[in-house]
Amino acid sequence: MLWTNDRCKELEALRSLLCEVSTINRGSGCIERIQKCIELADRLQQFDLDSGRESFWYFLHAQAIADRQAAAIEQR
């Protein structure tokens, strides 16, 4: 199963990052929002060397490639 609990948590972190970025210029707390965005972005790009677990960004990238390849095969 590709969408494990930890991957779903990372997907939620991506949603949170997008929400934070979209609200940076909508009021006070700009510096805190930028710091939170940096932390979330770092977490989503982090590769776990101990477990060999790829980053969420790489996971999404690989899934997109696999989906495109599968769609190309289906169209043939």
Per residue in 40-60, pLDDT (tens digit) is: 999 999 998 889 889 998 899
Q: Two tokens at 24?
A: 């940076």
Give percent of the chain above pLDDT 70: 99
pLDDT per residue as tens digits for the range 3-14:
788 888 999 999
Say which amino acid occupies 74.
Answer: E
Q: Two tokens at 62?
A: 């690989």
pTM: 0.61
- Contact, 33 vs 23, CB < 8 A? yes
